[in-house]
Amino acid sequence: MEYHFCVLSDKQVRVDMYLSTLFNDFSRSYIQKIIDKWNVLINWKEINKNIKIKNKDELLIKIIIEKSKIEAEDIELDIVFEDDNMIIINKDAWVNTHPVPWEWWKTWTLVNALLNHTKNLSTIWWVERPWIVHRLDKDTSGLIMIAKNDKMMRYLQDKIQKREVDKYYIAIVNWIIKEKNFKIESYIWRHSTDKIKMTVKNPISPKLAITHWKVIDYIDNKYTLVELKLETWRTHQIRVHLSSIGYPIIWDKVYGDVKINKEVYEKYWLQRQALHSYKLKILLYEKEVEFYWDLKHDLKIIVKNKLNY
């Protein structure tokens, strides 16, 4: 793909700033990569990103777009919302968001399904691919946002960074929580010796994490059904926070209780962590919108009619 045109500008500006404004679907860092690969010529000369352009300069831009190396697969998607800029999916449990290096998990992921479904893909670093704005753990079900272009990706990332996206979860945890409303605030990140785990105890490169919860009801006089709202979005945040105060999510294989997991399996046949992202609130196209989606079938069996939304 090539763009060939003359500059119309009443002042001199850096070429990367000019082009990122002109092509606002591409980020400035993406434009800089194009320049670094000598794919931008001014007056038929190779340039660097610090060069300033002036009125009537002649620009030639070459953009080489590659197809994603990830295979598209015809996998059914539970689509909650879709337009030209984004999709919201109700992800099933046991589905990875991204392919991972191990051979048996390179396929049947959300990205494989989106590559098959989405005809208008985002282009970043010369590769077409769907932009996953945030991720859910493999065993967590629920709402996940996907941007279809770089402009929407930057918009959603900015909203998340500024804590302007409200994300709510439903979870079932071990034991009875008597305090109806609570806030957990701590620093979490990588465990010093276990690469799989996050921790609140002396984490490597700690990051602030804040989780709000509200008790909804109790199950079997042994488990608590809770609604959780994320103020920050850290890896494993809900799972680590609940485990750190003694109420791990049932069937959490990393932070949970093996004995209780076995009891829940024998009674309800549940084999994955009882965590579901059920609601998103966001300012979209200058209007505040909410997206709700019901629990998956395996969690409904346990929760029954205890939710009213």
Residues serving a catalytic function are 137
| Concatenated DSSP letters of the chain | -EEEEE---SS-EEHHHHHHHHSTTS-HHHHHHHHHTT-EEETTEE--TTPEE-TT-EEEEE---BPPSSPP------EEEE-SSEEEEEEPTT--SS--SSGGGSSSSHHHHHHHH-SS-EEETTEEE-EESS---TT-EEEEEEESSHHHHHHHHHHHHTT--EEEEEEEEES----SEEEEEEEEEE-SS-TT-EESSS-EEEEEEEEEEEEEEEETTTEEEEEEEESS--TTHHHHHHHHTT-PBTT-TTTS-HHHHHHHHHHH---S--EEEEEEEEEETTEEEEEE-PPPHHHHHHHTT----
